[in-house]
Structure 1
Amino acid sequence: MIREPWLDGWTVGPKLGAFEAATAESAPRPVRLPHDAVRDLPRSATGDQGVHTGYVPGGVFEYAKTFEVPAHWREKTVRVEFEGVYRDAVVFLNGDAVVHEPNGYNAFEAVLDPYLRYGEPNRLTVEARAHRDSRWYSGAGIYRPVHLVVADPVHLPLDATRVTTPDVDADRAVVHLATTVRNSSRHTRTVRVTWAIEGPSGAGLATGSTPVTVLPGSDAVARIRLAVEAPALWSDASPALHRVRTTLADERSEELDQDAAAFGIRRLQVDPQRGLRINGVPVDLRGACVHHDSGPLGAATFADAEDRRVRLLKDAGFNALRSAHNPMSRAMLDACDRHGVYVMDELTDTWTRSKVAFDAAPGFAERWRHDVDALVAKDLNHPSVIMYSIGNEILELASPAGAAWSRRLAEAVRALDDTRLVTNGINGIIANLDRMAEIAAADAAAATTDGPPSDEASDPNTMMATMGDTMARANASELVTTSTEESASVLDVVGFNYAESRYELDRELFPHRVIVGSETFPSRIERMWELVERLPHVIGDFTWTGWDYLGEAGIGRVDYTDEPDYTPTGTVGPYPHLLAGCGDLDITGHRRPVSYYREIVFGLRTDPYLAVHPPRHHGRPTATTPWSWDDSVSSWTWDAAPGAPVTVDVYAAADEVELLRDGVSLGLAEVGAEKAFRARFETQYRPGELIAIARSGGREIGRTTLRTAGEPGLVATAERADVAPDGLAFVGIALADASGVVAGDDDVAVTVTVEGDAELAGLGTGRIRTEESFAGPSVTTHDGRALAIVRPTGEGAATVVVTAEGFAPVRVPLTFRA
C-alpha cells in the first residue's frame, strides 16, 4: 500500500457560483495543508458571526489539486483519506461528485476509482463552508491532515484493526484483535492476515495469523486473541504503549497491504463507593476542557502543536482532557496516549434542536449513527480514551424525546465499544429553558439579589453568568431532578455542567450514580476539588478551560467599569475581542496565575505563587464573569512610581504567608481569610525583590521570589532547534534582562522573518482583545511575551530573525531533518 501525506500542491479560493465571474480577489492561491481558510480573513464588529467566532467571518471555499494518474493505477484502488474538513465537505474528481461529509469533525474517505482518468492529469476539488453554524471559532476548510492511498483491490481500510484488552491480570493480558479486510475486486479472494505485537521497547511479544475469505465487493473481519505475558500497563503515571503490526498477504504469500496501530493494556473500573480506578489504582480526574483550535495557527491541526498542548497541560497539573464539543483530532489522541492523559471524547454540541442558525441539528436524525460510528472507529485503539460523551448541554434532554435520544445514542456507542464509559454533559438549566418561569417561581422564596435572566436568556453563557447562585439552586431543584432522571440513568457516569449543587444531593437520591464535573467555573476550583476529594462517587472535575481558545470572545475578561466607554454586555466581549480569555494557559502555552492556583489546590505544588495586580489599576472597580480570574501577573516589574499602592496575592496550601520586600517583612497574612488557598496583601510598589514565604504549623513549607527586571533586551528561543521536516518549530519571544526576568509592563511591536527552508505559520500572544493578525509578520508583545510558529518547507535549515525598534535583533537557527 502507498499511503502518503497529501499536503502540497493545493490551492484555495472562494467558491464561485456557476454564473459568477472570477475576479482578482477570487483568484485561487497556493496553500499547504492543513489549512484554515478563515483565520486571515478581515474581522469586523458588524460581521454576522459576531462574538461566537471572535468576529471572524465565514464563507464558502474551494480547495483544488491537480495530480497525475499513471496507467498502472488501473490495477489498484485509489482513495483520499481526510481527517477532517469543516464543514459540509463535498469532494469532486474531474467535476463528478465523489462523497459528501456534513460533519466537520469526522474522518472520511473519498474512493476515486469510478472517476479516475488514467494516464492524464486529474483535478480534485473540495468544497467546504462555515457560516453561523458554531458557538465557537470552528475555522473552515481542510484543517486536518490528508493522505493519498494507493492499494491493492484487496486491502486494509482506514482503522482496519481494532484492539481491545478485555482480560488483564498482573501476569498476563489477552489482546483481542479484529481486522477488517476489504475486497474491491470482482472475485472472491482468500488471503492471510498476520499480526505481530510489540512491547513498549519494540521487542516482539506475540504473533498469530489466520486465512480469511472475502466475497467480491464486501468486507470480512479476521479475529484472534493473543496473550501477552507480564504486560506493561498503561496509565497516566506510566503510559506504556504497545504496537500491533498487521500484514495482509495473498494466496502466494506476497504482501498486499500492511498497517500498524498503537494501543495500551489497561483495566478500567468505576463504582460510587470506590470511584474511578485504572488498573486497580484510584484516580481523580484533574480535567480540562479544550476546544480544537491551535491559537495562532487557527483551526489548522498539526501533530507537533497537539503534542505541545497535551504536554504543557499535563505539566500544569492536568491528567485528563475533555474535547469540547466535538470529536478530538487523531493527533491529539496520539499525544494523550504518549503522555498519559485521560480523554473524554465528545460527539456533538447539538442533537435535534439548534443552538445557532445553521448548525448540524437539522440533519442529526439522519446522520447520528454515521457520526457515532466515526467517533468510535477513531477512538477505539486509544488507551487514553476512557469516556465517550454523547453530547453537551443538549436542549431537548429533559423531554421524553430527549430521554429516548439519550438511550438510543448511549446504546449505539456500547454496541460498537462496551469497554469504555458513556457520559453526557448535562446542564439542567439549559435542558429546561422552556420552563424557566417554573424555575424562577421555585426560587422566589429564597432571598437573593441575583435572578433569572430576561432579554439575554437566548445566550446561554450570559444566562449562566447573570443567574449567579440561582443557577446552583435551580440545578438542585425537584424540576431538574425529575426532568433529567431518565437521560441520566442511561449513562455510566453522569456529567454535570455547572451543577456541583447536585453532587451531595444525588448521593442520597441516586446512590448508584457516579458523577463527573464535565464543565465547571475556573474561579471555583477550590470548592470543586474539595467535593471530588471528599465524595467517592464524584470522580473528577473538568474546568472551562485548560487552554484558551478563539471565539466565545471575552467570556473570561476583566473589565474596568470606570472606563468612559464601558457598557455592561454580560459575557459578550465587544469587538475587537478575539479570545475567550478563560484558559489556565493562554493560546501561546504560557501559564496564567489561575493555573498555578489550580496546581496548588490539586496538591501538586508546595511553593507559594505570587500574583501581582497592575499598580496602574489599583482601586479601580471591575466587572467579571464566572469564567474570569483576577487581572494579575507574576511580575515585580511595573511602570509605576515607587510607593504606588499595589495588591499582591499569594497562593499557597499553608496556614499563613509572610511577604518580604528587599529583605524587610511586610507582615503576615492568613491563607483562606477571603478565599481558600489565597493570602492578600496591600502594599507599595518599589523596584527590587519580593519574597513570599509560606508556613504551616509555624514551619516553612516553601518560598517564591520575584525580582524587578534590569535593562531588558529582545530574547528569542526555540523550544527545539532540531525539528522534523513535517513538524513545527515554536520560538518564544520575550523582553527580558540578562537573568531571564521578563519586563512585562512595556510591550513593543516585534517583527519576525524567516530565512531558509521554512515559513512563518503563525505569530501571536495571549492578548484577548486585539486587531493584529496571526499571519504576521508583526505583533505587539503581551506581558512581555509572544510566540512565533515556524513550519519547515523541506529538509535543511532556517534562521528566525526577530527585530524590534530600539533593540538588537535576535537570530534563532533551526535545522529540519527526519
Structure 2
Amino acid sequence: MSLAKLFWLGSLALALQSYGQTKKLPLLREQLFDDNWRFKKDSLQGAEQPDFPDAGWRTLHLPHDWAIEDLPGQNDSTIIGPFYKYSPAQEHGGYVVGGTAWYRKQFTLPALPAGQTVAIRFDGVYMDSDVWINGRHLGNHPYGYTPFTYDLTPYLAAPGQKNVLAVRVKNEGLNSRWYAGAGIYRHVHLLMLPPIHLVKEGISITNPEAGKEKAIVQVSAAMTGGRSGTAHHILQVRLKDSTGQVVAYASQAVSISPGDTTTVIKQLTVNNPALWSPGRPYLYTTEISLLDTTNTKRSSSAADRLEIKTGIRKISINATQGLTINGEKVLLKGGCLHHDNGLLGAAAFDRAEERKVELMKAYGFNAIRTSHNPPSEKFLETCDRLGMLVIDEAFDMWVDQKHPQDYHRFFKTWWQRDLQSMILRDRNHPSIIMWSIGNEIPERADSAGLAITRQMVKEIRRLDSTRAITEAENDFWERPYKWSATDASFALLDVAGYNYMWRNYALDERRVPGRVMYGSETFPADLYHAWNQVQGLPFVIGDFVWTAMDYLGEAGIGHSTYSGNSQGRMSFPWFNAWCGDIDLIGNKKPQSYFRDVVWGRSAVEMLVHTPIPGGTKEKVSWWGWPDEVPSWTWPGMNDKNMQVRVFTRGEKVELVLNDFRVATKTVSDSTPLTATFDIPYTPGVLTAFVYDSKGNEIGVKTLALASAPQGIRLTADRTQIAADANELVYVNVDVVDNLGRIVPNANLPLKLSISGEATLAAAGSACPNCPASFQQPKLTTFRGRGLAILRANGRPGNITLQVEGEGLKTAKINIRVK
C-alpha cells in the first residue's frame, strides 16, 4: 500500500471519528454507518435540505423501528404503549401506527484520491423510502426488504465540509398482512471503493464438484475499471480453512478498461474437503484480491480485497431420492419465520437475528422458510454458521393486491430489480437451498401470472443456476379454481410448495409423476399426519409449520375460544399472532412439546388443559392449539376434573398422582401419539410413565405443584459482551417459588432498574392479548415469565439489571462489557 493511500485511510478514519464513532474504525472499504442519526416522525416539508433545522430531533443509533415506540395519549384506553385500537394497520399489523418519518445524518470526509467512489448502502428500510444527499435526490426504493445502494460521489461537499444525508420513510395505510415495522430497521453501510475495485454483487462462488475426496470451488469475480487509463492487475483467489491456512490458490493477470466491468472465472481444487452440512456446517473463507503491479518498490499491493465465507456442499433434489446434501438424505424439519424480533419490533440487531436461529436450532428445526420476504444478511450468516437450511423467499404478492397499500403498487416496475438484489446478495450463502418467488399469489394460475413466473424463473437462473426454484401455493382461496389449476404453475418450477394441502401429496404424485413437493405451510395440529407423509413418501422433502415463532400482527390467528368464531384474526387487545411453536420471548409453547415426540426428540411429554368453563366447548383456530400447559399448579381446582394429555410413541401410559396410580391407558390409533385423561385435581406431583409393547419403561415425565411466588430469577444469554452499541443481552425474568421452580400462574408486575453501560432496549412478556409498552422499565410476567433486553452503549464497563416486585425477593444480575 502506498504511503499516500495509507495517509489518506488514516485521515479517513479520523474524519469518521469526528461524526460520532466511539472507537477507531478499521480501515475497510465498507463501514457501518449506524450512529448519530437524527430522527423525527412527521410529514415535514424541506427536511431533505442540508440547512433544515433539526435541533429538536432525537439522536439515535440504527437499527431503528419507530412503530414499536410508545404513542402519546397513554391515558386513553384505546392507546396502550405502541398499540392503538383504531390503527390503520388494524389486526393485520398488530394495531401499531405507521405514518411518515425522517432520518438525517451529518458527516465530513477528507479529500478523496482521484477516482474514489463513495456510496451508501441501506440493508433494509420499511418502506417507500426516498434518499437525499446535500439536497440532491438520489432515488426512491419502495420495497421494504431488499438492500439498495446510491453513489454519493458527485454530490459530496468539499473536503472537510458538512454533508447531510436525509431519508424519508413512508409506512402508510394497510400495506402488509403482518407487522412489518417502520423505518431504517436494518444496517446502513458507507462504502469507500477504490478507483479499480471488485464488485461485491458480481462475485459468485459455486461447487461444480463436491465429494469427500475432491471438490472444485469455482469463483466468478467481477471488477470494474477507473475513469481513465487501462489498469493492469492480478486477480488472486485464495481459499482458507477455518485456521487461516491456504488450501487452494489461483491467479490471473487482468486488464480493465476505463468504465468497463470485467469478469474472471477461476476454479480451485480442494483435496479431502471438509463439506458443509446441517450437522457439520464447516466454513472456508474465499479471499479475492486485486493486486496492483504498477508499484515499482514492491512486486504488488492490494488495490482491493474481499473475503466471503464459503461452504462446500452438493445439493440434489429429485422425486426418487428426495433432498440429499453431500449424498445423505435430509428431511426438512422446517418452520416459517417472519422477520420481526418480538419485543424489539422489526429492528434487525445482529444479536437478535442470531438468537432467532439459535432458538430454532435448539428446538429441533433444521430449516427455515423466510416468510414472505428476504431476511437480513446477518440472519443468513448465522444460518451458514449453525447449519440451518433456508428457503429464501422474495414476495408475498405480485400484481394483484392483498391490501390496498401493499407492494403490488410497485411490482411491475420493481420486481426484477428486487429479485436481482436478493439473488446477488444471497447466492453465496451455503445455507440457502431454494429460491421462492412468492406465497399464495392470487394470479399464479392466470395467463398473466404464468408469464410472470416464466420471467422470474429465467431471471433467477441467469443469476444462479445452482439452486431449485419454488413457490408456496394454496387451494385458491382468492380464485374460483380447482387445486389442479396449480399444475401449470408448478410445471414451471423445480419444487412445489404446498400450503395446507398435505392430503394431496400421494394423489398428486399419481396424477403428476415426478413432482417434488414439500409442506410450505402446515397447521400445528396436522404435524403428525404431515410428517408421516414426509417420512413415507420420497418425493415429499419436508414440512414447514405456520409458524415457528410467534410474531407481531395477524393478531390472534392461533387463538382458542369458548364462544364466537374460532377462525381468523382477533380484535384488539390481541396483537400477537400466537400461532408459533416458540413464544414471543423465546420459550416453548405446547405444540413444541408435541413436535418433540413426533420428531423423536422426546419419549414422552405431558400437558394439562386450563380449566374449561362449564357448559362450553373449546374452539381452536386452524393455526391454534388447545389452551394447555405443562403445569400441575391449579389453585381452587381441588377435586375438579382436569384434562391431561400425554404424547408418546409408546404403547401404554400410566399416570401416578402423589404415589397413587390414578389411570392407565393404551395409546390408540384413533388419537395418534396421544393418550387423554380426565382426573380429579389434587395438589402434589403428577407423573406419566410410558411403556413399549413389551412392557419396558421407555420414558417418564413429571409435573410438580409450584408453591407461592417467593423471588425472581434472572438468567442472561451472555455474561460478557463487546462494547458495541449493536450488542444486546437477553435476560429471562422468571418468578420462582422457594425451590426455584417457575410459578406458572404468576402474572405479576415487576419493576426494572438498569445501571452501567447499557440502556433498556425492550421488556415484556409473551402474552398475546396484553398490550403494553415494550420500552418502559417494567413488565408483567405471563405464566411466570418475562424478558428484558439490554443494549450496550458502546463503552466498556459493567451492566447491572435489578428486578423487584411486591412481596418478592429482589434479583440482580451483572454483565461485563469489554
Q: TM-score, normalised by structure 1?
A: 0.91
Give the 3-state SS of the residue equivalent to 2:361 in structure 1.
helix
Contact 1:188 1:214 in 2 (8 A): yes
Equivalent pairs, count: 766
Contact 1:82 1:109 in 2 (8 A): yes
Give CA deviations for 1:91-116 in whole Å, capped at 9, x if unaligned. Answer: 11111112322211111112110110
Task: Supply the distance in 2 between the matched residues of 1:527 and 1:484 (Cα, whole angstroms).
Answer: 23
Give the deviation of 1:74 after TM superposition: 6.3
Residue 735 of structure 1 is matched in structure 2 by 735
Residue 67 of structure 2 is matched in structure 1 by 38
Give the deviation of 1:740 after TM superposition: 3.1
Contact 1:618 1:646 in 2 (8 A): no
Contact 1:166 1:176 in 2 (8 A): yes
Give the deviation of 1:362 after TM superposition: 2.6
Give the 3-state SS of the residue equivalent to 2:713 in structure 1.
strand
Residue 338 of structure 2 is matched in structure 1 by 291
Residue 564 of structure 2 is aligned to residue 535 of structure 1: no
Q: How does 1:379-778 map to 2 (within 5 A)?
A: 379-430=426-477, 433-435=478-480, 479-481=482-484, 483-561=485-563, 567-568=564-565, 570-606=567-603, 608-615=604-611, 617=613, 620-672=616-668, 675-697=671-693, 698-712=695-709, 713-724=711-722, 725=724, 726-778=726-778
Task: Supply the distance in 1 between the matched residues of 2:573 and 2:488 (Cα, whole angstroms).
Answer: 43
Residue 157 of structure 2 is aligned to residue 161 of structure 1: no
Give the deviation of 1:398 after TM superposition: 1.4
Give the deviation of 1:19 after TM superposition: 7.9
Give CA deviations for 1:530-562 in whole Å, capped at 9, x if unaligned. Answer: 11111111111100000110100000011232x
Residue 316 of structure 2 is matched in structure 1 by 269
Give CA deviations for 1:314-363 in whole Å, capped at 9, x if unaligned. Answer: 11111100000001211111111111111101010011111100111132
Residue 50 of structure 2 is aligned to residue 53 of structure 1: no
Task: Supply the distance in 1 between the matched residues of 2:45 and 2:566 (Cα, whole angstroms).
Answer: 42
Residue 153 of structure 2 is aligned to residue 128 of structure 1: no
Task: Supply the distance in 2 between the matched residues of 1:786 and 1:805 (Cα, whole angstroms).
Answer: 16
Give the 3-state SS of the residue equivalent to 1:779 in structure 2.
strand
Residue 779 of structure 1 is matched in structure 2 by 779
Task: Supply the distance in 2 between the matched residues of 1:690 and 1:201 (Cα, whole angstroms).
Answer: 51
Contact 1:515 1:539 in 2 (8 A): yes
Contact 1:737 1:743 in 2 (8 A): yes
Give CA deviations for 1:433-476 in whole Å, capped at 9, x if unaligned. Answer: 342xxx6xxxxxxxxxxxxxxxxxxxxxxxxxxxxxxxxxxxxx
Give CA deviations for 1:597-639 in whole Å, capped at 9, x if unaligned. Answer: 0121112222x11111123757742222110011111112233
Give the deviation of 1:746 after TM superposition: 2.3
Task: Supply the distance in 2 between the matched residues of 1:624 and 1:288 (Cα, whole angstroms).
Answer: 20
Amino acid at match of 1:596: Y
Amino acid at match of 1:521: F
Match 2:327 to one of 273, 276, 280: 280
Residue 199 of structure 2 is aligned to residue 199 of structure 1: no
Structure 1's consecutive aligned runs of 4 or more residues displaced over 3 angstroms after TM superposition are: 19-27, 72-75, 157-160, 567-570, 615-620
Contact 1:615 1:644 in 2 (8 A): no
Q: How does 1:796-815 map to 2 (within 5 A)?
A: 796-815=797-816
Contact 1:731 1:787 in 2 (8 A): yes
Choose 150-159 or 272-281, whichever is displaced more.
150-159
Contact 1:642 1:685 in 2 (8 A): yes
Q: TM-score, normalised by structure 2?
A: 0.91
Contact 1:162 1:178 in 2 (8 A): yes
Task: Supply the distance in 2 between the matched residues of 1:84 and 1:48 (Cα, whole angstroms).
Answer: 23
Amino acid at match of 1:281: E
Give the deviation of 1:193 after TM superposition: 2.1
Residue 466 of structure 1 is matched in structure 2 by none
Sequence identity percentage: 36
Give the deviation of 1:12 after TM superposition: 1.3
Residue 181 of structure 1 is matched in structure 2 by 223
Amino acid at match of 2:696: R
Residue 155 of structure 2 is aligned to residue 78 of structure 1: no
Task: Supply the distance in 1 between the matched residues of 2:224 and 2:121 (Cα, whole angstroms).
Answer: 16
Match 2:187 to one of 139, 145, 150: 145
Contact 1:77 1:184 in 2 (8 A): no
Contact 1:708 1:741 in 2 (8 A): no
Residue 53 of structure 2 is aligned to residue 11 of structure 1: no
Residue 424 of structure 2 is matched in structure 1 by 377
Task: Supply the distance in 2 between the matched residues of 1:674 and 1:801 (Cα, whole angstroms).
Answer: 51
Task: Supply the distance in 1 between the matched residues of 2:273 and 2:47 (Cα, whole angstroms).
Answer: 63
Residue 63 of structure 1 is matched in structure 2 by 103
Give the 3-state SS of the residue equivalent to 1:133 in structure 2.
coil
Task: Supply the distance in 1 between the matched residues of 2:232 and 2:615 (Cα, whole angstroms).
Answer: 79
Contact 2:343 2:585 in 1 (8 A): yes
Q: How does 1:241-320 map to 2 (within 5 A)?
A: 241-250=283-292, 251-252=294-295, 253-320=300-367
Task: Supply the distance in 1 between the matched residues of 2:434 and 2:463 (Cα, whole angstroms).
Answer: 13
Give the deviation of 1:234 after TM superposition: 0.9
Give the deviation of 1:172 after TM superposition: 0.8
Give the 3-state SS of the residue equivalent to 1:687 in structure 2.
coil
Give CA deviations for 1:394-428 in whole Å, capped at 9, x if unaligned. Answer: 10011112112112211211111111111000113
Task: Supply the distance in 1 between the matched residues of 2:92 and 2:660 (Cα, whole angstroms).
Answer: 49
Give the 3-state SS of the residue equivalent to 2:423 in structure 1.
helix
Give CA deviations for 1:787-807 in whole Å, capped at 9, x if unaligned. Answer: 111111113221111121222
Task: Supply the distance in 1 between the matched residues of 2:114 and 2:791 (Cα, whole angstroms).
Answer: 36
- Structure 1 regions of 5+ residues with no counterpart? 440-478, 562-566
Task: Supply the distance in 2 between the matched residues of 1:287 and 1:775 (Cα, whole angstroms).
Answer: 32
Give the 3-state SS of the residue equivalent to 2:489 in structure 1.
helix
Give the deviation of 1:201 after TM superposition: 3.6
Give the 3-state SS of the residue equivalent to 2:555 in structure 1.
coil
